[in-house]
Structure 1
Amino acid sequence: MTGFTHTLGQSLPINAADIYVEIAGNPTGEPLVLLHGGLGNMMDFNAIVEHLPEQFQLIGIDFRGHGKSTLGNAPLTYRQYQADVEAVLDQLEITHYSVIGFSDGGITALRLAAAQPSRIRALVTIGAHHQLDSDDPVLDIYAAMTANKWRTLFPDNVAQYEATNPEPDFERLVPAVVALWTETTAYPGEAVRHISAPTLMVRGDQDHLCTRAHTLSLGELVPQADLFNLPGTGHDALNEAPALSIAGITPFLLQHCTESSSTQAFSTSPA
């Protein structure tokens, strides 16, 4: 499949922001939504897009303030991300879909899957936790992040953002994302017990943000959760080991999407 380019999509007005969505893959295939991580964008999935089965219609969404989406005036929260994704899919007239979500995208996907009634057929999370306690050391890591620190760590990432976003303001975006990360009440929490979709939890074994304890705790709550642990990889397992990642993700999607494809109808409007 061809990856996302930030040139072939459209921006949809949602709650005082323009949310960018781009469709790749099979235009009549089964919808598979791809949700990126914090301070990233849909193109972060391009390492695996070309290896995904051709039966899928790939729907990339840039979270508000990220990629080609404007920030708007609403505070960044996982609730807002969830509402934005639901609004995008409503405008595209997509009733049911599967999801691959990385980090913030995975946390948002957990909220989407826990909503009742659920619209998700199969769920893949990468490096995503469902809750953080107030004394979790990960919160200190998040709280210490600044725009300058991120620029130092990921200069190419910031340069891409500034070249792509229609209203770039990295000094405003980073504090908004830090506030999202550290707002513990907005994580899906115990609501993940309501997830009925088959779920694959992907984790890099050296991930310092989504620990083994986080993942095992999530797996205890989600009825149909399987763990795919990738040795020798960190938080961004997809880009660190794309071949290994796709080796576990593809069979899972094919199994659970094929099982219900004969009973589930899909409708999409053109991008």
Structure 2
Amino acid sequence: MPYAEVNGTTLYYRVKGSGLPIIFVHPPLLEGNNFDDQLEQLSDTYQIITVDVRGHGRSPYSKQPLTIPLIAGDIRGLMDALEVKKACICGYSTGGSVALAAMLAYPDLFHGGILISAMSEVSDLMLRSRFWAAIYTSGLHAKRVLTAAITWGNASSPENFKKLYSAALRGDIRNHKQYYKSGLTYSCTQRLKEIPLPTLLLYGKKDSGFHKYAKMLHRQLPNSTLHFIPKAKHQLPTKWAGPTNRLIRQWIEAQPFATTGRRILRDLQETHVPIPVFEPGTIQEEPNQQA
């Protein structure tokens, strides 16, 4: 299995494909397999890298307490270990806070960021109560209860639930709790204007509780593009993988750094292979698209 020694800890990771590297960061309790649809569907054009955060999935327990900046530093260390000089970083939910912290701390390492159902702070009562509930449940060591609730919410099918649940159980509840606590207290909202990198913001149209954060990020980030996916809720990487992945492709190929993808598209056009066009705001809900 692929492991890397990073910042005094060991991280499990997966790499598939070649081309522009995209590093995916998961939220507390879940692990890198939450991005299996991205790994399978986007690796035809890009180098997809998923990682299990310390104490999550196959990455062993971390004696050093988890914080958002620490995880961001681990992403940098993993890039060094894999000899990835520059990448896009994609964070889902609290993983988006890690992506923002990484872009603030190491701007020269990233072409841009992709934030999925993400936030720069946890400031509304409903979301804060969810974090506190997860922290409290973690403190009771009710690992199976919390794991079942989180993975069921993210699962796209009963089979997908079994995979996410069994994988998440490998993690350490102590590190899960630390990740939740850091996500609850972390805020970089006042520094968002310091991130000039192009940033894609993806949210579910029905994820109304996160629309506040979507608009906050779009307003504060100098170079951001915001899309709400119709009929979608929070769990975009798994339950709405098809439209999520198409918007990621569309956004990347519009960026100056996406030479590889544009060359592939040009080659397809020269061979008269039809290229689908997806206009912003017109993507419809799709069932999960497992590879």
TM-score, length-scaled by structure 2? 0.76
Aligned match of 2:34: 44
Partner of residue 204, structure 2: 204
Aligned residue identity for 1:180: S
Q: CA deviation at 1:74?
A: 1.2
2:58 maps to 1:68: yes
2:10 aligned residue: 18
Contact 1:139 1:181 in 2 (8 A): no
Gapped regions of structure 1 (runs ≥ 5): 1-6, 262-271
Give yes or no for the alignment of 1:144 onto 2:133: yes
Q: Distance in 2 between matches of 1:14 and 1:260?
A: 30
Aligned residues: 243
Residue pair 2:148, 2:165 contacting (<8 A) in 1 also? no
CA distance, structure 2, for counterparts of residue 12 and residue 257 of structure 1 = 31
Aligned to 2:78, the other structure's residue is in SS state helix
Q: Where do residues 177-216 of structure 1 align in structure 2 (5 Å cutoff)? A: 177-182=179-184, 184=185, 186-207=186-207, 211-216=210-215
Following superposition, the deviation at residue 208 of structure 1 comes to 5.7
1:226-259 deviation line (CA, Å, top 9, x unaligned) = 1111122221112111111122111111221545
Instruction: Give CA deviations for 1:46-101 in whole Å, capped at 9, x if unaligned.
Output: 12333226231111111111121112111111111101111111222222111222
Cα distance between partner residues in 1 of 2:220 and 2:93: 18
Please give the residue correspondences for 1:67-106 in structure 2 after superposition, counting only pairs within 5 Å: 67-106=57-96
Aligned Cα root-mean-square deviation (Å):
2.3
- Give, in whole Å, the separation in 2 of the partners of 1:126 and 1:80: 20
Please state how far the C-alpha of 1:214 moved relative to its aligned partner.
1.1
In structure 2, C-alpha distance between the alignment counterparts of 1:117 and 1:46, rounded to whole Å: 27
State the distance in 1 between where 2:133 and 2:102 align: 28
Q: What secondary structure does 1:51 align onto?
A: helix
| 1:229 match: secondary structure | strand
Residues 238 and 158 (structure 1), Cα distance of their counterparts in 2 relative to 1, 3 Å cut: closer
* SS at structure 2 position matched to 1:99: strand
- When residues 97 and 136 of structure 1 are mapped into structure 2, their CA distance, relative to the original with a 3 A threshold, is same
Report the secondary structure of 2:233's partner residue. Answer: coil
In the alignment, structure 2 segments of 5+ residues that lack a partner are 153-161, 261-291
Q: Is 1:123–1:197's contact at 8 Å kept on the other side of the alignment?
A: yes
C-alpha deviation, 1:188, in angstroms? 2.4
Shift in CA distance, 151/15, structure 1 to aligned 2, threshold 3 Å? same
Is the contact between residue 206 and residue 232 of structure 2 (CA under 8 Å) also seen in structure 1? Answer: yes
- 2:183 is aligned with what amino acid? W
2:111: which partner in 1?
A: 121
Give the aligned partner of residue 97 of structure 2: 107
Q: After TM superposition, give the deviation of residue 220 of structure 1 in Å.
A: 0.8
1:267 aligned residue = none
Instruction: Find the counterpart in structure 2 of residue 264 from structure 1.
Output: none
Residue 116 of structure 1, CA deviation: 5.1
Query: 2:21 — aligned with what?
Result: 31
Residue of structure 2 in register with 1:254 after alignment: 253
Letter in 2 for 1:41: E
Is the deviation greater in 15-24 or in 102-111?
Answer: 15-24
Q: Is the 8 A contact 1:18 1:70 kept in 2?
A: yes
**What does residue 225 of structure 2 align with?**
226
User: How much has 1:200 moved relative to structure 2?
Assistant: 0.7
Give the number of the structure whose alpha-carbon radius of gyration is greater.
Answer: 2
Please name the residue that 1:173 is paired with.
175
Structure-2 change in CA distance of 1:258 and 1:13 (3 Å): closer
Q: Is the 8 A contact 1:14 1:87 kept in 2?
A: yes
C-alpha deviation, 1:108, in angstroms:
0.8
8 Å CA contact retained: 1:39, 1:66: yes
Query: In 1, are the aligned partners of 2:72 and 2:102 still within 8 Å (CA)?
Result: yes
